[in-house]
Amino acid sequence: MIVRTKKFQIKKGMYIKKGFLNLLKDQWWISLIFILISSMHYIWIPSYWWMIGSTIALTLYLLFWLIQFVGLTQVEQGKYIFERLSYEISSNQILMKINNKQGMPIKWEAIKKVRIQKDCFLFKLNKVQFIIFPFKVFNSDNEIRFVKSILSRKGYAAY
């Protein structure tokens, strides 16, 4: 069976927001490093520079990743993600279609993780590139269940 989605376009703001929040969920351990460095004031050498330095470092780190997501929306290599596309999802591949004659296959091996959120599927290709499938682009609930079954067969944990 092949699931054909309706044509849709990912908005750049939604891409940046979901991508940045996904990155924060994946890299939660950064907050532990921030807390550890900030607490050096109490543990090792009493100086408020530990807190100031760790805050600056955390801000620069988060700003770096935010620039990566915003930058992907601006460069030519990322423009195809934000075009009006339809997709065909099967157990062999995901076919990204511009029209009936033009398309690009994405093998399941290229997908690193899949996150099922309350309103969409998020297929993660790397830290910055991913594909969002809102549930409203599917024609029925059966198609959503079929995609979930493909994901479980391919070994993508539903988290």
Strand 3-4 and strand 103-107: the pairing is unpaired
Q: How many CB atoms lie within 10 A of CB 95?
A: 16
Give pTM, 2 decimals.
0.79
Task: Say which DSSP state 8 is in.
Answer: B
Which pLDDT tens digit goes with each residue over 90-143?
888 899 888 888 888 999 999 999 988 888 899 998 888 888 899 999 999 999
What is the CA 73 to chain-centroid distance, rounded?
13
Which pLDDT tens digit goes with each residue over 142-159?
999 999 988 998 888 655
